[in-house]
Amino acid sequence: MKLYYAPGVCSLASHIVLREAGLTFDLEKVDLASGETETGGAMTDVNPKGYVPALELDDGEVLTEGPAILQYIADALAPEKNLAPAAGTLARTRVQEHLTFVGTELHKTFTPFFKPDSADVEKEKARTKLHRRLGDIEKLLADGRSYLAGDAFSVADAYLYTVATWTRPTNIGLDAWPNLAAYVERVAKRPAVQDALKAEGLA
């Protein structure tokens, strides 16, 4: 099994969950600017959409889209690790709710900050929306829960942690959201997260 990744981008969530699951896998770094993989191939040959993450399974099947990969790892590759509640339960729907929120309301809203041709007005609109949506997470965590779905770490936490770290390079920071800041510190201390960060050269 092989994960195609780029350091610190959304593929970090899949990387973290693979390590949380205790699975054996290879990593292949992708240069997002050139579209080339570490071994000299074209990323579009792996994922026709041209981006990471992409998870190549042992049978040659390739999975794309972070939330789908996260749930596949939890359900099919390491169900005993309880990284997601059972399908069909309200608890699972809550995790899917969190995954959707992170993907649509946070992840994509950061896009203007990472595109060199983004106008300042686009960045300001994105900053305003992020302040509102990060505030939503702040309120959710205000009840003292350790993770998004309660006291147990789930695949949704790997995704939120990854996206929340983007507040650093964008100078948004987390000072305005102390519950979220404490959450990010808490997740960062998990051994699997530390191992993933080190493997990507981020720690």
Q: What is the 3-state secondary structure (H, E, C) of 89-122?
A: CHHHHHHHHHHHHHHHHHHHHHHHHHCCCCCHHH
Pick from 55, 51, 58: which is nearest to 3 by CA? 55
What pLDDT band is residue 20 in, cutting at 50, 70 and 90?
very high
Q: Using one digit for the tens of pLDDT, what is the confidence trace for 63-102?
A: 999 999 999 999 999 999 999 999 999 999 999 999 999 9
Q: What is the mean pLDDT of residues 38-54?
A: 98
What pLDDT band is residue 16 in, cutting at 50, 70 and 90?
very high
What pLDDT band is residue 15 in, cutting at 50, 70 and 90?
very high
Q: How many residues can be counted in the chain?
A: 203
Q: Using one digit for the tens of pLDDT, what is the confidence trace for 113-168?
A: 999 999 999 999 999 999 999 999 999 999 999 999 999 999 999 999 999 999 99
Q: Is 179 exposed, middle or buried (0-12, 13-18, 19+ CB in 10 A)?
A: middle
